[in-house]
Chain A
Amino acid sequence: MTAIYQAHALGLIRLAHIMLGDRPSAEDVVQEAFCGLYRRWSHLSDTGSALQYLRTSVLNGCRSVLRRRTGQRAQPGDGRPGDGRPAASAEAAVISGEDRREVMQALRRLPARQREALVLRYYLDLSPEETATVMGIGPSSVRSATHRALSSLGRMLKELS
């Protein structure tokens, strides 16, 4: 388990950070995922399935956090007051940084399934089959969710630019 943590904690925190836009919550979710693994260690069919379990658990944890946030406060980067987004006059902003902000803002407006499919496909470079396993849906659903997500993302980015 030590080896698993050493190998994957960083990647999983990054994954949760992308999903949540909030570092402390991301760390919490990953810690919870490892605690869950720790509790279920004896029930795993093989230790090779641990990473898959962790990814699924992190995604589930992120969903829970996002559900709790709904209606409670503005999500980081959603453009509402208080999200720390620089004012339009902040011309010193690096262009790439601004582009990233826009992409992440658009990404977080996607439905959960589409957002997760994009992150797993384009951040973790998982195949549709691997993504399907982590998300608990079929590969065809992954393909369709990815396709729709990219279309929506493109539209939103056009509106933002």
Chain B
Amino acid sequence: MNTVEDRLRTALRDTAGEVTPQSVPPLRLHRPPGRRRGMAGPTARRRWAAWLAPLAAAASVTAVVAASLAISTAFHGGHRPASGPASPFAGVPPYYVVLAGKNPSPVVMQRQFAEVRATTTGATLARVTPPRPYRTFIAAAGAGDGRTFVLVAGPWAVTYKDGGKSIRVAPTKFFLLHIGAGGRTTRLTALPIPRQPGGAFDIALSPDGSKLAVALRDASVGGPAIQVFDVATGSERVWRWPGGGPVTNNAGGEGEELSWAADNRTLAFQQWVTGNIIHVRLLDVTAPGGSLQAASRLLLRWPGDGATWHYVHGKISNVLFGFSAILTPDGSKIVAATEDLTKHPLSSELAFTEFSAATGKVVKVLGRWPIPGLYPGQTQDVLWTNSSGRTLIVLAHKPGAPAKAPHSGNAADYGIEFGVLNGNTFTPLPGAPRPGPNPWPAW
């Protein structure tokens, strides 16, 4: 090694050799949660390593060929989440996405855009509109980190027939929405998943953002079935249950009916079987075959008809109904809004109940809400859970005296609101949307 050029070549080659082929990470589609630009070091690397699950085997990535789209408008400048260790909002995702339209209280279907809001203040930080040719968003789901979401966009085809108006919002297209630091900027990118002819309203994005689950409710949309798409490549697996009950919950079409564990292979879903019985099942998305029944196991079975109620001395007692169940990311529990009913004397109790994901047995009951003397017909929901289920974002009663049974069909009249549940303490989310006919927020 005599010349400067020789020494330079050798030094460059040896330095480059410190990076081995085996150490090349898979490409990620978005910045991992909590990561800041320019932040590099052991901590950052550990976070990355923990976040990265191969988006596909080998070098994995992103065969996304569609265009990058729409940059949203920043409304109020930057936003710094206000949650601290002592805050009831500690650990909750910084942002959520809610679909909204021009009319805040629509009585008919309307075109929807997506709003990015700060969880702790409710401030609207950005608005995202569907890129042409799509005209409306119909569903949203988050990876749980408050920064990565999937939006479902569709057309808005209006036809008039037999004196009535019909609006078609399918076929639908999936878009990945990434929220940048401060919530000021968003990036919307078309995913390489084929357009879905029957629409896609019930979806769940895996915690690492690599898989998207779609529930096909019943035979009218090609189900009952569950599709799981690879977000990077668009490849699809589908599990069907011919003749099985609809894949749905009983929360009035809202709420979370699909949810992922952080292992990105366990998917919880709800199925409405004979009568009004709700089953919660766990699907292993790595299982071979295409049978939803064979690839999943029954975990919870909530009664919905008289034949399955518990009788004590001829009286119905302590019947636990559940709805809107979601799996905690650590895979240990199912957390669900529940309703415990006793008919003699008539009383009921709303709560959020944790069930063991191994045995189905009740582990803990949180946020008990006793309602003596009536059966409320109430709506509650779990929208997000931290890894262990210790902190939840829920739709629940406003603190205070129990509300009387509502006569309105409008959920907004039920005296419920979005908030954070820590143990038994419910803290309303400031500025959150009023529960109403619009879709509920996604975290």
Residues of A within 8 A of B (CB): 1-2, 5-6, 9-10, 13-15, 17-18, 21-28, 31, 34-35, 38-42, 64-65, 68, 96-97, 99-100, 103-104, 107, 118-119, 122-123, 150, 153-154, 157
Residues 35-65 of chain B, each 1 if its beta carbon lies under 8 Å from chain A, else 0: 0001011101100100000001011111111
Shortest Cβ gap from A141 to chain B (Å):
19
- For residue B15, CB closer than 8 A to chain A, the reply is yes
Q: Is the CB of A42 within 8 A of B10?
A: no
Which of A5, A10, A100 contacts B11 (CB under 8 A)? Answer: A100
Minimum CB–CB distance for B9 against chain A, Å: 5
Given the known inter-chain contacts A6-B59, A23-B19, A38-B68, please indicate yes or no for A100 contacting B24, CB distance below 8 A.
Answer: no
B4 at the interface (CB under 8 A from A): yes
> Which one, A23, A25, A153, contacts B8 given CB within 8 A?
A153
CB atoms of A119 and B38 under 8 A apart: no
In the bound complex, do residue B40 and residue A1 qualify as a contact, i.e. CB atoms below 8 Å apart?
no
Interface centre among B5, B19, B48, B65 (most CB of A within 10 A): B19
Q: Give the shortest distance, in Å, between A48 (CB) and chain B (any CB).
A: 16
* Structural contact, A122 and B12, CB atoms closer than 8 A: yes
A100 to chain B, nearest CB (A): 4
Shortest CB-to-CB span from B62 to chain A, Å, is 5
Report yes or no: A39 in contact with B40, Cβ–Cβ below 8 A.
no
* A96 → B minimal CB distance (Å): 7
B62 touches A122 (CB 8 A): no
B220 to chain A, nearest CB (A): 35
Known contacts A1-B63, A24-B41; is A100 also within 8 Å of B14 by CB? yes
Instruction: Using CB atoms, name the residue of chain B closest to A125.
Output: B9
A64 to chain B, nearest CB (A): 8
C-beta contact mask, B379-406 vs A, less than 8 Å → 1, else 0? Answer: 0000000000000000000000000000
Return chain A residues, CB-CB under 8 Å to B4.
Answer: 150, 153-154, 157
Chain B residues positioned under 8 Å from A41 (CB to CB): 64-68
The answer to whether B187 and A39 have CB atoms under 8 Å apart is yes
Which residues 1-33 of B have a CB within 8 angstroms of A? 1, 4-5, 7-19, 21, 24-25, 27-30
Q: A42 to B14, Cβ gap below 8 A?
A: no
Secondary structure at the B interface, as helix, strand, loop or mixed, is loop
Which of A14, A28, A100, A157 lies in contact with B10, CB distance below 8 A? Answer: A100
**How many contacting A-B pairs (Cβ < 8 A)?**
123
**With A10-B19, A39-B68, A42-B68 known to touch, is A2 a contact of B38 (CB < 8 Å)?**
no
Q: Is residue B189 within 8 Å, beta carbon to beta carbon, of the partner chain?
A: yes
Query: What A residues does B56 contact at CB under 8 A?
Result: 2
Cβ contact within 8 Å between B19 and A14: yes
Minimum CB–CB distance for B218 against chain A, Å: 36
A14→B233 CA distance, assembly (Å): 26
Q: List CB contacts (< 8 Å) of B285-331 with chain A.
A: none
Which residues on B sit within 8 Å (CB–CB) of A104?
Answer: 11, 15
Contact-size category for B: 35 or more
Q: Give the residues in chain A near B59, CB-CB below 8 Å.
A: 2, 5-6, 9
Tell whether, in the assembled complex, residue B5 and residue A122 are in contact, meaning their CB atoms are under 8 Å apart.
Answer: yes
Q: A6-B59, A18-B15, A100-B11 are in contact. Are A31 and B28 (CB under 8 A)?
A: yes
A17 to B40, CA, bound (A): 13
State the Cβ distance, A154 to closest chain B Cβ, in Å. Answer: 5
Q: How far is the CA of A26 from the CA of B5 in the complex (A)?
A: 24
With contact pairs A10-B24, A99-B11 given, residues A18 and B45 touching in the complex (Cβ less than 8 Å): no
B196 to chain A, nearest CB (A): 22
Other contacts beyond A99-B10, A100-B15: 16, CB < 8 A = A1-B64, A2-B233, A9-B27, A9-B59, A10-B19, A10-B21, A17-B15, A27-B25, A28-B38, A35-B29, A41-B65, A41-B66, A64-B38, A100-B11, A150-B8, A157-B7
Contact of A24 among B1, B12, B44, B60 (CB under 8 A): B44
Q: Which of B4, B5, B7, B21: most chain A CB closer than 10 A?
A: B4
Q: How far is the CB of A69 from chain B (nearest CB, A)?
A: 9
B38 → chain A closest CB, angstroms: 5
User: In chain B, what residue has the closest Cβ to A42?
Assistant: B67
Q: Which of A2, A97, A150 contacts B61 (CB 8 A)?
A: A2
Known contacts A2-B59, A99-B7; decide if A34 and B27 are in contact (CB<8 Å): yes
Which of A2, A24, A28, A42 is the most central at the interface, judged by chain B CB atoms within 10 Å of its CB?
A2
Q: Answer whether A17 and B1 are a contact pair too, CB < 8 Å, given A5-B62, A99-B11, A107-B11.
A: no
Residues of B within 8 A of A153 (CB): 4, 8
- C-alpha gap A27/B63 in the complex (Å): 20
A28 to B15, CA, bound (A): 18
| Interfacial chain A residues near B17, Cβ < 8 Å | 14
